Amino acid sequence: MSKSILSDKKTNLFIILSGIFITNALIAELIGGKIFSVEKTLGYAPLDIPLFGDFVLQFNLTAGVVLWPVVFITTDLINEYFGKKGVRKITFITVGLIAYAFLAIYLAMKLAPADFWLNVFATDENGAPFDINYAFQQVLTQGLNIIFASLVAFIIGQFVDVYVFHRLRKITGKKKIWLRATGSTLISQLVDSFVVLVVAFFLLGGWSLSQVLAVGTTNYIYKFLIAVGLTPLIYVAHYFIDRYLGKENAEKLMQEASDESGKSLF
């Protein structure tokens, strides 16, 4: 395979992985304002297990966690083939785009609603009146504390993932993809799960430490189970990427990523 063709395939691969990464991270932020019950969604009653004092263990999660596993997997793939620089680049691009998206939403909420829009859509399907402009704002916006905290947690989690991933790769070499991929995800998401709650609700919100621990534990249990359950998809993705690049070129790319990332911790 000529150098130019390989370079094109490498670029195309990074664009595809970056597109998947950015799209899912951005949508996860936009739908994150909805809290859903895992138990009720599956047709069961809430667990209501006492945890950390007055709080009970229920799997009430933000809708954004449905898409974050895709971000986890894509992070590991970018880590594998493009190393620390690849993850760092796409992380900062994603943070910038998320900030831009919320700025656009904020400006849209400041636009004066047209009377026609308010009148035509003033009732629901049952004829009950409601304020569609208020509903628009409630659906599309989240508290600024949550936005800020999620971005802080996202950046920290990504760099923890990079560090752990390449430390494990240095130990395992080309073998045990599952260990470095799943292991780095489990550790980075442990950090992410609690950083966002501590910043948004403990430092800036007013939650007690016990409530942060209870909600954070619930979120992490979910992320833990999903990360383990999705491990086989890492191998599926590797299979198709290796076929696209060619086995020899794929291994060369992974070795270059490993060598580059091993030169420094961050």
| Predicted pLDDT at 241 | 92
- Concatenated DSSP letters of the chain: --HHHHHHHHHHHHHHHHHHHHHHHHHHHHTTT-EEEHHHHTT-----EEETTTEEE--EEEGGGGTHHHHHHHHHHHHHHHHHHHHHHHHHHHHHHHHHHHHHHHHHHHSPPPHHHHHHTSB-TTS-B--HHHHHHHHH---HHHHHHHHHHHHHHHHHHHHHHHHHHHHHTTS-HHHHHHHHHHHHHHHHHHHHHIIIIIITT---HHHHHHHHHHHHHHHHHHHHHTHHHHHHHHHHHHHHH-HHHHHHHHHHHHHHHTTS--
Q: pLDDT in tens for each of the 266 residues of the chain?
A: 555 655 788 899 999 999 999 999 988 888 877 778 888 998 988 877 777 666 777 787 878 888 888 888 899 899 989 988 899 999 999 999 988 988 888 898 889 988 888 877 777 777 777 788 888 887 776 656 677 788 888 889 888 988 888 888 888 877 788 888 888 888 988 888 888 888 877 887 777 888 788 778 888 888 888 888 888 998 999 999 999 998 888 888 888 887 776 555 45
Distance CA 226, CA 65 (A): 10
Token pair in block for residue 159: 């760099």
| Predicted pLDDT at 96 | 93
pTM equals 0.83
| Predicted pLDDT at 89 | 92
Identify which of 229, 243, 209, 245 has the alpha carbon closest to the alpha carbon of residue 73. 229
